[in-house]
Structure 1
Amino acid sequence: MSLNAAKKKHFRTIGHNLNPVVIVADKGLTDGVVEETLRALNDHELIKVKFAIGDREIRQQLISELISATNSDLIQTIGKIALIFKAADKPNPTQRFQTC
């Protein structure tokens, strides 16, 4: 799904107050990390993922791999934090875009 600039700006505004709900560390993208990201995206649709990786190139590669593995949209990256969005099949209005 391709998001237009206005929609991305709206998501960046919402994402400002969110805390990371998934952390990718030294072991990289394991099946568990991908599953947890999918679960969080299904619950919230818009989440922050923290990449605790020092090397910038490896971090960017892992972000791309996570976006591909979850079939989500990258809204923004700032430092070690990626803001990603994936529309849920059945959105839960009580969980949508909640700060964690």
Structure 2
Amino acid sequence: MNTDNNDTRLIEAETALDTAARTSTAVELTAARRSELRAAAHSLNPVVSISQKGLTTAVLAEIERCLKAHGLIKIRVFEVEREARDGLLAEICNALGAAPVQHIGKLLVIWREKPEAQYQPVAPARPRRNPPRLTKKAAAAKTDKAARARPLERGKPRRPTRVR
């Protein structure tokens, strides 16, 4: 039962990758934009790891999901050779239509513009039917304050206060 679920996930991942590969083209970044993205990626943690089995369809599908959710991601690669990591970076970017931002050590940083989220309008909050409840002290103070206030007489102007 569990293998059937894994098989369907892999099939879904492969079809998603096929459609992404057909529509993807490598994205080019300007030096200024690349610098901004490097600065933004500084505080990120790696969200995907590529280890012994290399770049499988499941790993590509996970990278695709992360790019849709975040746009800018870090990938940790447990490959010894730098040339192999360069090849992985190029392969990921070509397959998913992403732009390589940085390759430093065993970390790869890639970026792809996030798709616009569909705006879901939120219903306005309902007004409260009853005013907030007052404690006994607050209610007494309110009525006491109103009783102490002297009403302003209509025809007479108020006496100005002295400023020192």
Q: TM-score, normalised by structure 1?
A: 0.86
| 1:47-58 matched pairs, under 5 angstroms | 47-58=73-84
Which residue of 1 is the match for residue 115 of structure 2?
A: 89
Instruction: Say if 2:55 is the partner of 1:29.
Output: yes
Residues 55-92 of structure 1, C-alpha deviations (whole Å, 9 max, x = no match):
22212111111111111000011001011000022259
Identify the structure with the greater helix proportion. Answer: 2
| CA radius of gyration, larger in | 2
**Unaligned 5+ runs, structure 1:** 93-100
2:64 aligned to which of 35, 38, 51: 38
2:100 aligned to which of 71, 74, 77: 74
Identify the structure with the greater strand proportion. Answer: 1
Which residue of 1 is the match for residue 87 of structure 2?
A: 61
Residues 36-56 of structure 1, C-alpha deviations (whole Å, 9 max, x = no match):
001000000000011111122
Q: Is the 8 A contact 1:43 1:91 kept in 2?
A: no
Which residue of 1 is the match for residue 156 of structure 2?
A: none
Larger RCO of the pair (alpha carbons < 8 Å, separation 6+): 1
Aligned residues, how many?
Answer: 92
Name the Cα RMSD after superposition: 1.3
1:15 aligned to which of 41, 61, 68: 41
Q: Is the 8 A contact 1:8 1:75 kept in 2?
A: yes
For 1:22 and 1:91, the matched residues in 2 are separated by 23
What is the Cα deviation at residue 4 of structure 1? 1.0
Q: Is the 8 A contact 1:41 1:85 kept in 2?
A: yes
Which residue of 1 is the match for residue 158 of structure 2?
A: none
For 2:94 and 2:117, the matched residues in 1 are separated by 21
For 2:117 and 2:73, the matched residues in 1 are separated by 14
For 2:50 and 2:92, the matched residues in 1 are separated by 10
Q: Is the 8 A contact 1:18 1:48 kept in 2?
A: yes
